[in-house]
Chain A
Amino acid sequence: MAFDRREFLKVSAGVAGAASLGTLTGCAGTGPSAGGARPKVVIVGAGFGGATCARYLKLWEPKIEVTVIEPNDVFTSCPFSNTVLAGINNMQDITFGYDNVKKVVDKWVKDTVTGIDTAGRTVKTAGGATFAYDRLVLAGGIELMFSAVQGYDAEAQKSVMHAWKAGPQTATLRKQLEAMPDGGVFVMSVPRAPYRCPPGPYERACTVASYFKKAKPKSKIIVLDGNEDIASKKGLFLAAWKKHFGYGTPDSMIDYRPNNMPRAVDPKKMMVGTEFDDVKGDVINVVPPMRAAEVCGMAGVRLGLDGKEGPWCAIDFRTFESLHVKNVHILGDSTLTNFPKSGSVANNTAKMAASAIVEMVNGREPDAAPVVTNTCYSATGMGTAFHVATVFRYQAAKKEADGKVTPPAMIAQKGGGVSKEESELEFAYMDAWAKNVWADTLGLPENFNFTVKG
Chain B
Amino acid sequence: MKKTLALTLLFAGTLGAVAVAQATDARARFMAANCAYCHGPDGKSRGAIPSLAGLEKGYFVQQMKEFRDGKRDATVMQKHAMGYTDAEYEAMAAWFAAIK
Contact = CB atoms under 8 A, between A and B. Distances in A.
Interface of A: 1-2, 11, 14-15, 17-18, 21-22, 24-25, 27, 56, 60, 344, 347-348, 351-352, 355, 358-359, 362, 364, 367, 370-373, 375, 387, 389-393, 413-417, 419, 423, 425-426, 428-429, 431-437, 439-440, 443-444, 446, 448, 450
B49 A414 contact: no
Contacts of B39: 436
Contact of A428 (B36, B47, B100): B47
A373 B8 contact: no
B37 A433 contact: yes
A25 B4 contact: yes
A364 B84 CA distance: 24
A436 B45 contact: yes
B46 A358 contact: no
A258 to B, nearest CB: 28
Given A18-B15, A25-B5, A60-B29, A344 B44 contact: no
Pick the most buried of B11, B32, B76, B82: most chain A CB atoms within 10 A of its CB: B76
A426 B75 contact: yes
B78 interface: yes
Contacts of B36: 347, 351, 436-437, 440
B47 A435 contact: yes
A211 B62 CA distance: 44
A439 B100 CA distance: 18
B100 to A, nearest CB: 6
Given A372-B34, A415-B82, A432-B47, 20 more contacts: A2-B42, A11-B18, A18-B8, A18-B12, A21-B8, A21-B11, A60-B22, A60-B29, A348-B34, A371-B31, A371-B83, A375-B76, A390-B79, A391-B84, A415-B81, A416-B82, A423-B75, A432-B38, A436-B47, A436-B49
Given A347-B37, A429-B76, A436-B39, A1 B29 contact: yes
Given A25-B8, A60-B29, A432-B38, A415 B49 contact: no
Nearest to A368: B27
Contacts of B19: 362
Nearest to B67: A415
B90 interface: no
A437 B37 contact: yes
A355 B79 contact: no
B26 A355 contact: yes
Given A375-B37, A425-B75, A446 B44 contact: yes
Interface string B1-29: 00011011001101100110011001101
A423 B75 CA distance: 10
A406 B81 CA distance: 27
Given A24-B4, A436-B36, A391 B79 contact: yes
A78 to B, nearest CB: 14
Contacts of B29: 1, 60, 355
A436 B37 contact: yes
A367 B83 contact: no
B80 interface: yes
B12 to A, nearest CB: 7
